Structure 1
């Protein structure tokens, strides 16, 4: 199936998978992601990284920049993986998600946070997905967050893996609930290949759609946050077994 200009096949999967196309309501103030990663902003363009970290801090009531940066990165990684993997599984093709073509409104939530300037079809194989998401986005994003906020590269790799596993799990759930075994099979094969990539290999243990990471995204440091379902910890570090169960 050919990619359509509105990527309409993604809509039934839910807002996290949907990718807007054209110019978003934030207009020129939302910078292309290549400028965001490089910190090269001009004119009225905002510092989307700092803005999103501020949004995370306000919404979750946490003031540790490293924690906010980790959670902001995982959220963007999940959006990118969801759109890319969803397109590959449904269309057999992916749109060119080059950072210069994607604008990010850091104050918005999915699906209004990202807009793709134009839909340029690319092959839907695992190598293209790795180039599209890992190399074009998550590597430069991770470098920027490590440089600016001191987030450990291994933690960010774990976030990228966790985001991919979550997108794959949601896509599998939708496909099986809608009698689309073909979509589930393509998504599973692509996910298996992606987890063999050097940037994701060794980030955790997988069994089917289940994933247990070997790092922590630091969500436990959010007030009332606890640990995530795929966390390497079974309870927040520093808590007693009794306190964790109460």
Structure 2
């Protein structure tokens, strides 16, 4: 099935899988390419001038993060989950993926899924491109932007990426089972296995349990506890 201009098949999968297309009703938004390369601006009011910093500060306030790197991790994993979900969902349902070139993908750091991302033009690519689209096209420049501003480890960020990918697969697999679409779950699992074999991601998850090997720091959020795939069995003492 070819990609349609509205990517309508992604709608039933849930908010993290939805990708709006065209121009948002409130007008044009900056691209993720601009977000990854924008110079850091210290004021929270500069929502679009430095959208990465704005998003982190917004997350920090929302979750009452005790330190900046906790908000960085939570914000990073959420965006990684959006990117994996959209691309993997399209690959599993359409047999194609939309070109998520950062220059085509617009981001509103003040909005939640699915209104945070808008694709200005739907260009189909083969499923084999999914790794370059997400890992190389987004996760690497995003990690570089975050590490230029905050003390956060590369291992944590790649751990977030691996965990986000595994979470997208679980969601797709659950939807496939509930809707009698076993082939969708099979394609998602096969694609994820290939993606997780890449050197950037191969050490992020236990290959048997799919528990992550680094902590995302969510346990440090007041009342946060441990994630389902956490490397810890009990929260570490501060």
Measure the CA separation in 2 of the matches of 1:51 and 1:224.
24
Q: Partner residue of 1:221?
A: 220
Measure the CA separation in 1 of the matches of 2:221 and 2:26.
29
1:111 aligns with 2:110: no
1:21 aligns with 2:24: no
Q: Partner residue of 1:244?
A: none
Measure the CA separation in 1 of the matches of 2:192 and 2:127.
12
SS where residue 217 of structure 1 aligns? coil
SS where residue 213 of structure 1 aligns? coil
1:199 aligns with 2:217: no
Aligned-pair distance for 1:191? 0.6
Q: RMSD across aligned C-alpha pairs, in angstroms?
A: 1.6
1:52 aligns with 2:55: yes
Contact persistence 1:26–1:105 (CA under 8 A): no
**Aligned residue runs from structure 1 range 74-223, under 5 A:** 74-125=77-128, 128-207=129-208, 211-223=210-222
Measure the CA separation in 2 of the matches of 1:179 and 1:206.
27
Q: 1:25 to 1:65 in 2, by over 3 A?
A: farther
- Per-residue deviation, residues 115-164 of structure 1 (Å, max 9, x unmatched): 00010000012xx1110000000000001111111210000000000000
Aligned-pair distance for 1:45? 3.6
Measure the CA separation in 2 of the matches of 1:58 and 1:24.
26
Contact persistence 1:105–1:112 (CA under 8 A): yes
SS where residue 189 of structure 1 aligns? helix
SS where residue 143 of structure 2 aligns? helix
Aligned-pair distance for 1:63? 4.3
Contact persistence 2:21–2:121 (CA under 8 A): yes
Contact persistence 2:47–2:109 (CA under 8 A): no
Measure the CA separation in 2 of the matches of 1:206 and 1:104.
33
Measure the CA separation in 2 of the matches of 1:44 and 1:186.
38
Q: Which runs of 5+ in 2 are unaligned?
A: 41-45
Moved over 6 A (4+): none
Contact persistence 1:205–1:213 (CA under 8 A): yes
Q: Partner residue of 2:72?
A: 69
SS where residue 183 of structure 2 aligns? helix
Q: 1:218 to 1:176 in 2, by over 3 A?
A: same
Q: Which runs of 5+ in 1 are unaligned?
A: 240-246
How many residue pairs get matched? 233
